[in-house]
Structure 1
Amino acid sequence: MSKVDSNFALKVQDMFSSKYLFKQCIQAITLRDNFQYVIVKSNKEVMILQCAIENCKWSLRASCCIHGDRSLWVLTRFDFEHTYSVDVPLTDHRQATFNVIKDLIKNKISLAGSKLSTPKNIVHFICDEHGLSISYQKAWRACKVALDDIRGSLEDSYKMLPRFAYILELNNLGSVVEYKVDADDRFLYFFMALSASISGWQHCCLVIFIDGTSLKNKYGGTLLSSSTLDANYQIFPLAFCVVDSKNDSSWTWFSNQMKRIIGGRNEVVIVSNRHKRTSSWRVVDTIFHACEKTFNIVNFKHEMRLLESSAPGIREELEPIGFAKWSRAYSPRRRYNVMTTNISESLNSAMLKAKELPICSMLEVLRMMLQIWFFERRNEVDYQVTNFTKTIEGTLRDQIERSRSMKVNSVNNMKYQAIDETSQYVIYLPTKHFEFTMKHLSIKLLRGRMTMDIISSGIVGRPKKVRIPSRMKFKRRIKCGRYGRVGHNCKRFNFKF
């Protein structure tokens, strides 16, 4: 009853199931017709209202009567005509309480937030839609009450966790949902991995990104997340876990739950940013990234020497961590060209609004987010006509387009040298199902694989043609033989006295 139709009109003998519903209907009518009323009398048996402007005849009377086995409120008298002048200003409205404003904006606010999620936006909305001027405090209270009605309170949300876990497992067969409480039956951890994520993990790359982000509600906490990359190099969330903080106990419990998802897949690489960055890393950030991205140990040692020359003592900081944890050259498993946890940060950005919600509402928003993502990707795959994903197709097209301008020299029947403007490659052809032109390489892959080894990287900038002098060799300074001045000789002397 927060908003009534423009054609709705009260009449005598109208019945209402409660006094609260009757009063709510009257408040909605006053907001629609832009007038105010005052309460003359109100108790358990009768309620009398009249217009707030003096000498106005608008008034009504409702009384409580017994109808069968329940009580009803009946409108017994109603004078609907207003007799005040139209030039009476109505800047504020006493019936526009925060509960009435809450009913007006409740349908405009969703679970994950909307444009009316701030009091300032609510003030503008009420002014534009209903012509009412309300205070910031009233809009804030209305927004808080509306959000509590939609999302539930924080305390009740923790009490609903066992019921939420049961419904989630019932509607998503094969999901892993676990929670843990302490000895006093207080909340500790909650883990959620949907069946769609578990089944899709079997077709993703063997790299798992783990990260955590702080919750922004009243009781705080930390939301741990694990994700990977699918065949189209898109973010594929695996699991979410709500813990008290990032400590050894919470990480251990989260890792034990992740073992149930990983299953029998071996050679899994886990990328995490649990180690803190040192101050030396910030100074030599460019050199360090070049060191971690090298493909072989020879180049790694070269870059490591450059790193030590720029930041002495950094080797002693990196060796206890282990080169295999951050270097591509020493990694015992395939990292799929992944060196950072950037996709975890992107996932945290997608969960930005959900982190402010109560725990049950937050988990439901995350479930809805995964449902929308997986549905859209499934539809995209259904209309795909190629054997590769969209991202891989684009990469292959770029590589083929780039190979057209390469110059090819034969080494033997199965080995060729490809030269472009900046680099040289050695190409091994396990099968003969490739087509070549005489001077340029045009690859048409029919069967088999092509592997490329970089011989030398290109030189950045214009090639130097002048010999670089050694440190001990100094350039001879030219002096004028006539006056002994530096910077010119006798032929180029143009000094004027």
Structure 2
Amino acid sequence: MFFLCGSGDISVGQSYVSKNDLISALRVKAVKSRFAFKVSKSTTKLYVAKCFVDGCKWMCRAAIKNEAKRFFVTKYVKVHTCSVVDRARFRKGCTPRYLGQIFVEQFGIIDGIVPRHIASAIRVLLGLKLNYTTAYRALKAAQLFVRGTPEAGYAALPSYLRRVKQSNPGSVTDLVCEANGQFKYCFLSLYASMVGFQYLRRVIVVDGTHLTGKYGGTLLVAAGQDANFQVFPLAFGIVDAENNESWGWFMNKLQQCFSSHHMVIISDRHPSIPNACLNVLPWVTRGICYYHLQGNIVSKSELGAKDLMYLVKGAAYAHTLREYNRCMASIRAAKPALANYLELADPKLWSRVHFPGDRYNIKTSNIAESINSALKRAKGFPIPYLLQFIREKLGVWFAKRREDALSLQTPYSKGVEYLLAIRTHHAETYTVEHIDGWTFNVIGGGGHYIVNLENRSCECGVFQIEKIPCSHAIAASTEANMHISQNVCMTYTKESLYATYARPIYPEPTEDAEEEEDICLPPEVAPTRGRKKKSRYLTWLELSRKRQPKPRKVHKVYSCSLCRVPGHTRPHCVSH
């Protein structure tokens, strides 16, 4: 019986880099074609494989010709003369390494794949049943087959950074290695982000997140917010850990890319960040994230402040000094220790009304946290693939938001137009009294407020903090026959939003134009026991929000099909 197997992936004249590559190709061929082979002869210069069934004419012969280690197929008989039953009887299993390779060759994707997908695909393709462990190892082998080893990633990092600068001229990259060539720091800021920052409000949020790869590390992120209140990534750094040295180096690179004398930096309460700002960027105004402050308060059981967090939030979000003092007085009356803790935390860092710079609506570090969440899937990739994932993500965001900005029919972004619509609705119910020049007294919204349109200020505090007219300013502008657009900051306009994303992000070329052999070795990392944790431990505050009672399921109300009365069904009807 003659039977043709395979798709002809092995042919006479085909070459392989080494004998191991030849053996790998034969094993993949055997698994796909559902047969087994045996080694007839194997030397340093010759390799002969035959079908495991005696008498079958299938065979493959490869030998070294001119090159030192390259094997060339000199004879290949792809037709089996044995029975299918005999081949199935001698068929062997397959290691996860080759199963992963077969999966990649068949489907070409590994993003979003879990072991269950591997097991289902191999069952359909090859008829093999895989347990979870084998499927998991096959998935890891597939990822290794596509992305390479972490060690190869560090070796390819210098070339990748050069290719990024070739495709996106003006981008800032930096690779710092130890004296022995081991990786230490890496920095990337695309030129499109540097150009777009010119049209943003001068507020940068920085944060760090742990990498989950073999060698660990920390990803430092700097981000801003565009005119539509969307996340705008600025720069990325890969360091060994969050400490004074790494944050100082990262801030120094930020200074080279986004230096501004009216800049504000928002971060969590990591002690290395204020030290880096003081040493590298002493002129910037620094603030802390309210959410992290809230988490620190809740974690201190001696404060007993879980029931007073609404007052802490009121003090942090207050637009006026009167409102802030009212919240702090209530806190001091209930928990003096909590009030002292907030005073020691420096209200200039966490309170909006005491903040000395322009913080606008940015009260937390959620901007950088959102980027960390978007990159969560790639935090275990080799470094070049992580940077490539970042570049692809930013390219998609820039292209989509550029088109959205072009399609806007309003003078301002959708987010600003939404705020103006709500505030205009409230302004229509207010009473306005003209005092003098551009000064008005607006009655409504729970009190009366003095609005100065010339200075763009209102006693409610919203106008001067957000740089967007509050409802009182809108009412005063209407009374003065002034268009509202004259009182909105220019960074919120449609033109500013488009200019933010005007410069495209290009993919890096596949080959490096410069043939420099820079050495970058993986860092020394002490091995740890057990499986690495992929996500951080949740705080009590996050756990409490997850454990909130869910709404009860609303059950369908059945009615009797005979009497049409709800509350019972036909078998239990008493009227018939």
Q: TM-score, normalised by structure 1?
A: 0.74
- 1:125 offset after TM fit, Å? 1.6
SS at match of 1:302: helix
8 A Cα contact 2:62 2:75, kept in partner: no
197-206 or 380-389, which deviates more: 380-389
Counterpart of 1:484 in structure 2 is none
Of residues 101, 104, 119 in structure 2, which corresponds to 1:103?
101
Moved over 4 A (4+): 5-11, 18-33, 64-71, 76-79, 409-414, 422-430, 440-444
8 A Cα contact 1:211 1:226, kept in partner: yes
Task: Give the AA of the match of 2:73.
Answer: W
Counterpart of 2:483 in structure 1 is 445
Q: Does 1:119 align with 2:122?
A: no
Instruction: Quote the Cα distance in structure 2 between the aligned partners of 1:426 and 1:218.
Output: 60
Task: Give the AA of the match of 2:203.
Answer: V
Instruction: Quote the Cα distance in structure 2 between the aligned partners of 1:40 and 1:372.
Output: 51
Q: Does 1:304 align with 2:328?
A: yes
Q: Does 1:41 align with 2:40?
A: yes
- 1:185 offset after TM fit, Å? 3.7
SS at match of 1:257: helix
Of residues 229, 239, 242 in structure 2, which corresponds to 1:243?
239
Counterpart of 1:173 in structure 2 is 169
372-381 or 177-186, which deviates more: 177-186
Instruction: Quote the Cα distance in structure 2 between the aligned partners of 1:340 and 1:76.
Output: 66
Instruction: Quote the Cα distance in structure 2 between the aligned partners of 1:40 and 1:447.
Output: 81
* CA 1:93–1:424: 2 relative to 1, 3 Å: farther
Q: TM-score, normalised by structure 2?
A: 0.65
- 1:363 offset after TM fit, Å? 1.6
Task: Give the AA of the match of 1:166.
Answer: R
- 1:281 offset after TM fit, Å? 8.1
Provide Cα deviations, 1:367-404, integer angstroms capped at 9, x if missing partner.
22111111111122222232211222222233334444
8 A Cα contact 1:46 1:61, kept in partner: no
Q: Which one has more relative contact order, counting CA pairs under 8 Å at least 6 apart?
A: 2
Instruction: Quote the Cα distance in structure 2 between the aligned partners of 1:311 and 1:348.
Output: 35
SS at match of 2:266: strand
> Which structure is higher in helix share?
2
- 1:151 offset after TM fit, Å? 1.8
Counterpart of 2:346 in structure 1 is 322
Instruction: Quote the Cα distance in structure 1 between the aligned partners of 2:373 and 2:104.
Output: 26
- 1:425 offset after TM fit, Å? 5.5
* CA 1:360–1:323: 2 relative to 1, 3 Å: same
Of residues 394, 397, 401 in structure 2, which corresponds to 1:377?
401
Give % identity. 25
Instruction: Quote the Cα distance in structure 1 between the aligned partners of 2:155 and 2:334.
Output: 55
Counterpart of 1:359 in structure 2 is 383
- 1:8 offset after TM fit, Å? 4.2
Task: Give the AA of the match of 1:260.
Answer: Q
Of residues 379, 388, 391 in structure 1, which corresponds to 2:412?
388
Counterpart of 1:289 in structure 2 is 313
Instruction: Quote the Cα distance in structure 2 between the aligned partners of 1:47 and 1:199.
Output: 61
Instruction: Quote the Cα distance in structure 2 between the aligned partners of 1:41 and 1:345.
Output: 59
- 1:212 offset after TM fit, Å? 0.7
Provide Cα deviations, 1:395-435, integer angstroms capped at 9, x if missing partner.
2233334444x153545586363546x666666666xxxxx
Provide Cα deviations, 1:19-73, integer angstroms capped at 9, x if missing partner.
777766655554455x322416232446252355x8xx64323444788889743
8 A Cα contact 1:51 1:59, kept in partner: no
Counterpart of 2:265 in structure 1 is 270
8 A Cα contact 2:6 2:29, kept in partner: no
**What count of residue pairs does the alignment treat as equivalent?**
428
Task: Give the AA of the match of 2:83.
Answer: T
Task: Give the AA of the match of 1:101.
Answer: L
- 1:10 offset after TM fit, Å? 9.7
Task: Spell out the pairing of 1:24-35 with structure 2 (5 A cutoff).
Answer: 27=27, 30-33=30-33, 35=34
Task: Give the AA of the match of 1:188.
Answer: K
8 A Cα contact 1:175 1:194, kept in partner: yes
Counterpart of 2:372 in structure 1 is 348
- 1:267 offset after TM fit, Å? 2.1
Instruction: Quote the Cα distance in structure 2 between the aligned partners of 1:255 and 1:62.
Output: 60
Instruction: Quote the Cα distance in structure 1 between the aligned partners of 2:79 and 2:237.
Output: 61
* CA 1:169–1:423: 2 relative to 1, 3 Å: same
Q: Does 1:162 align with 2:158?
A: yes
8 A Cα contact 1:22 1:73, kept in partner: no
8 A Cα contact 2:101 2:145, kept in partner: no
Instruction: Quote the Cα distance in structure 2 between the aligned partners of 1:217 and 1:74.
Output: 43
Counterpart of 1:132 in structure 2 is 128
Q: Does 1:204 align with 2:200?
A: yes
- 1:233 offset after TM fit, Å? 0.7
Q: Does 1:73 align with 2:73?
A: yes
CA RMSD of aligned residues (A): 3.8
- 1:238 offset after TM fit, Å? 0.8
Q: Extract unaligned runs of 5+ from structure 2.
A: 271-292, 455-473, 490-576
Q: Extract unaligned runs of 5+ from structure 1.
A: 431-435, 452-497
Higher alpha-carbon Rg: 1
- 1:224 offset after TM fit, Å? 1.0
